Amino acid sequence: MTRHLRTWGTLLLCGFISASVAGPVAAQGSLRTLTFGLTAKTANEWPEYVSDKLGFFAANGIKADIIYTGSSAAGAQQLTAGALDVSEVSSTQLIEAVQGGAPIVAIIEHSTKAPYTLVGKKGVNALRDLKGKTIIVGGPNDITRVFTDKMFGAAKLAPNDYAYTFAGATSARFAALMNGGVDAAILFPPFSFKAVSLGYPAIDEVQKYFPSFLFDTFCVQPSWAKTHGDLLVAFGKSYLQGVRWLYNPANKARAIQILSEATNTSVEDASQTYDLFIAKVKIYSTTGLATAADINPVIDALVKTGELKPPLPPASKFYDNAYIREANKQLGRP
C-alpha cells in the first residue's frame, strides 16, 4: 500500500479493535480497482477466494486489490485511516471501534457462525488443564477473547487462573502452538483441523457456547461509500455470487481445491472444512443483510465482558443495508 497510514487516537490505544465458472469477464480497461482488507488466509475468506479465482469480481467490473491486514483490529484501523476502501471487521471490533469514534459502518453481513476450536499442546486435554497456563487469542479486545473467556467461565476458571498472549491471525496462533510457545490456541479451520491431525487435542468448541453469532462483516467509511455506491453494489454482487457458487454441491471438488491453494493447507483439511462450513453449519450469509437480531447478541456479549456499559447503542448504528440490498435486487433475489 502506498497510502499513508495515520493513527487514530483512542482506537489505536485500545488495540482495536450458480454456475461452476464465472460469467463474461469485463474488459480489463473498464475494471475499477477496489482495495479491500481480509484478515488472514483462513476458510472464513473462502467466498472472496472464489470470487477472485473464478472471475466474479472482474465480471462485475472490479479489479480486486486484496490486502491481508493480519487482524480485525488492524483492518478497522487501516479502514479508518483511509488505507482501505473496504475491510473485513469482526462484529465485536466493529462495535468497539464505532463506539470509540471510528467513522465506519458494516455494509455486508459476512459470516454468521464462529466454528473456532481451542486446541491444546500435547498432553493438555481439558480446560481445567490450562490453569496457570498461557493461551493465545487474537487480541485484548478481539472476538476470540470473548469466545475464550466464555469457555473458561463455564469451566469455573477465574481470569487470574490463566494468561493470554496475542496474535491476530489464526496462522500466527497455529505457528505459536506448533513452536511450543503457548499451551493452547484458538484456531479457525482449516488450521484447527491441521493441528488435530498432527496429534494436538481439541479442548473445546466455540459453537457449543455460541451456536449462532454474527462473526464478521465488511465495513466502509460512510463518507467514501456515498460517492462509490455502484462500486460497493458490484462488490456485494461478487460476494453473493461467491457464496451461491460455494453452496452448490456440484462445485465441491473445485471449492476444496481453491481453499487448499489459498490457505496452503492439505486437501484433506480443506475437505473437512467444506463438510463443516458448507454442508453442515453454512456459515456464510446468503443475503449479506444485517439485522438488529444479529447485532444485539454481540452487544450483549460485550456488556458481559465489560467492554460496553449502559446506555447501550441501538443496533442500527452499526450497519447500512442499502448497498447489499441493491446487490440482491440486481441478482434477482428478494
pLDDT, residue 96, reads 94
Q: DSSP for 251-315? A: GHHHHHHHHHHHHT--HHHHHHHHIIIIIII--B-SS----HHHHHHHHHHHHHTTS--SSPPPG
Distance CA 214, CA 203 (A): 23
Q: Are residues 247 and 309 in the same domain?
A: yes
Q: How many domains does the chain have?
A: 2
Is residue 4 one of the residues assigned to a domain? no
Nearest to 167 by CA among 261, 266, 262, 39: 39
Is residue 316 one of the residues assigned to a domain? yes
Q: Are residues 314 and 249 in the same domain?
A: yes
| Grid coordinates belonging to 122 | 500435547
Q: Are residues 325 and 219 in the same domain?
A: yes
- Tell which of 208, 240, 256 closes a domain: 208
pLDDT, residue 334, reads 57
pLDDT, residue 29, reads 56
- Tell which of 191, 208, 225 closes a domain: 208
Q: Please report which confidence band the pLDDT of residue 168 belongs to, taking 50, 70 and 90 as the band edges.
A: confident
Does 22 have pLDDT greater than 60? no
Question: Hey, is 132 helix, strand or coil?
Answer: coil
Regarding pTM above 0.85, the answer is no
Q: Are residues 173 and 237 in the same domain?
A: no
Q: Are residues 316 and 275 in the same domain?
A: yes
Is residue 148 one of the residues assigned to a domain? yes
pLDDT, residue 141, reads 79
Q: Are residues 183 and 48 in the same domain?
A: no
Q: Are residues 302 and 174 in the same domain?
A: no
Is residue 278 one of the residues assigned to a domain? yes
pLDDT, residue 137, reads 97
Is residue 241 one of the residues assigned to a domain? yes
Beta bridge partners, 135, equal: 164, 184
pLDDT, residue 211, reads 86
Instruction: Dump pLDDT digits (tens) for 206-251.
Output: 999 998 899 999 999 999 999 999 999 999 999 999 999 999 999 9
* CB 281 within 8 Å of CB 205: no
Beta bridge partners, 118, equal: 186, 204
Q: Are residues 151 and 248 in the same domain?
A: no
What's the average model confidence in pLDDT over 283-312? 92
Is residue 58 one of the residues assigned to a domain? yes
Is residue 3 one of the residues assigned to a domain? no
pLDDT, residue 325, reads 97
Q: Are residues 171 and 32 in the same domain?
A: no
pLDDT, residue 49, reads 98
Cβ-proximal residues to 29 (8 Å cutoff; 6+ apart), any chain: none
Task: Choose between 261 and 10: higher pLDDT.
Answer: 261
Q: Are residues 155 and 108 in the same domain?
A: no
Q: Which CATH number fits the domain that encloses residue 63?
A: 3.40.190.10
- Tell which of 208, 237, 255 closes a domain: 208
| Cα separation values, 223 from 35, 75, 239, Å | 16, 18, 22
Q: Are residues 315 and 240 in the same domain?
A: yes
pLDDT, residue 306, reads 84
Average pLDDT, the chain: 90
Distance CA 302, CA 217 (A): 17
Q: Are residues 251 and 183 in the same domain?
A: no
Is residue 5 one of the residues assigned to a domain? no
Q: Which residue has the cell 479486545?
A: 141
Instruction: Dump pLDDT digits (tens) for 58-90.
Output: 999 999 999 999 999 999 999 999 999 999 999
Domain of residue 131 covers 117-208
Instruction: Dump pLDDT digits (tens) for 48-61.
Output: 999 999 999 999 99
- Supply the angle between the helices 252-263 and 46-53 in degrees, to the nearest 10: 100
